[in-house]
Amino acid sequence: MKKLLVMVMFIILISLMISPVTYAATIKSGEEINIGKSETIQDDLYVFGGIVSIDGTINGDLVVAAGTVTIDGTVEEDLIVAGGNVIINGYVGDDIKVSGGTVVIRASVADDVMAAGGTINLAKDGQVGGDFLAAGGTNMLSGSIGEDVKISGGDLNMSGTVDGDMTFEGDTAKLGPNAEIGGDFTYKTPKKAKISNDAVIGGKTTHKLPEQQKQSDFSSSAIVFGILFALFWFVIWTIGSVIVGVILVSLAPRGIQTISSSMSSSVWASLGIGFVLLFGMPIVAMILIFTLIGIPLGLILFIMYMLGVYFSTIFVGFWLGQKIIKLFKKKGEPSPLWSMILGVLVISIILAIPIIGALISLLAIIWGLGGIAVGSSKLRKSASTKGIL
């Protein structure tokens, strides 16, 4: 059943990673975001924020990454969520893929549910038309499930209805008096499950004891955990970079375009200047700090250096996104917004490749830093010519 945990987490994380490629979509980001009851989004909606509440209707997929997520409205297609506290009510017309610290599902779901988290609760009002796959520390099932259930985690408390088979692997299992399983119930726990006399199991009940742990099992689990941990932060970092890129494009589209054009028209100059900045700025900052009187300036220079290194790959991603879109869009200029989203996503994936990604990352930082310097110089000259500076 460890494979189930890996599969559920992998599907949720990959879904979050590849979702921004979609072109017909609405994107919202901010500290607090609400889609009111009277609002209807006619395409896919991507939301990134601190507190997100959806009360309206989404006539497409809904993708959310936030600290607190509450879904009370209608999602006509897939719902993909990553958050700290997630509450899903209303109606979902296709699948749910959710990962969170606490996940509560009271919605009517037309198809499958895949959930991973500390606590997973399919409440009494929750209805799932397809399969239910979960990996949680505490798993509570009080609702109804139309097909099969597979759960891996610590504890199971079952008082709902499952039309198909149910499989569980964990520490403890309890079936209450209202529990109904139409097919077989197979579970793997150290002790036998507590099954109420009033619980109904239509098929066979099979109890399996956990296999004795081997040293290699621990090593494999550690490797899997490491991969999942790295993948999780890769997704979070990529989403964060996309948000930063979208904000930059929204606030300074002309500046972004000027820097991107400078990277193309002044490749060697950008690489040379970027090389000097990458290795020279930290030295200058340290010298200033050692003079004591130059500590404030040195710290400011160091912060500017760190920001420049971070933004450099975002600008390279924007340049790359434009080139990719131009391959398929022969007429007109590519959208700055979608150039940024697509480019940042692609460059993030490239930079994650072992060894090669590190080399490309170094080149991207050098090129991006130089491009920022050259482009900023052009912007200052333009502003000076127009009498702005």
Per-residue pLDDT tens over the stretch 124-177: 999 999 999 998 889 999 999 999 999 988 899 999 999 999 999 999 999 999
**Does 288 share its domain with 366?**
yes
pLDDT score at 18:
42
**Does 105 share its domain with 78?**
yes
**Does 72 share its domain with 190?**
yes
**Does 70 share its domain with 101?**
yes
pLDDT score at 219:
57
> Which of these three, 211, 240, 257, is where a domain ends?
211
**Does 149 share its domain with 234?**
no
* Total number of domains in the chain: 2
**Does 264 share its domain with 223?**
yes
**Does 162 share its domain with 248?**
no
pLDDT score at 55:
96
**Does 138 share its domain with 272?**
no
Taking 70 as the threshold, does the pLDDT of residue 279 lie above it? Answer: yes
Taking 70 as the threshold, does the pLDDT of residue 14 lie above it? Answer: no
**Does 227 share its domain with 334?**
yes
pLDDT score at 221:
62
- Using alpha carbons only, what angle is made at residue 309 by residues 304 and 314, rounded to the nearest 5 degrees? 115
At 361, the amino acid letter reads S
- Sheet containing strand 161-162, edge to edge, reads 40-41, 57-58, 74-75, 91-92, 108-109, 127-128, 144-145, 161-162, 180-181, 200-201
pLDDT score at 388:
54
**Does 73 share its domain with 112?**
yes
> Which of these three, 169, 187, 211, is where a domain ends?
211
> Which of these three, 179, 211, 243, is where a domain ends?
211
Cβ neighbours around 282 below 10 Å, total: 15
Question: 22 near 44, Cβ under 8 Å?
Answer: yes
**Does 138 share its domain with 58?**
yes
Domain that holds residue 50: 2-211
pLDDT score at 1:
45
Q: Which of 24-33, 48-57, 138-147, 340-349 has the highest mean pLDDT?
A: 138-147
**Does 250 share its domain with 297?**
yes
Question: What pTM, to 2 d.p., does this model score?
Answer: 0.56
Gap between the Cα atoms of 8 and 134, Å rounded: 7
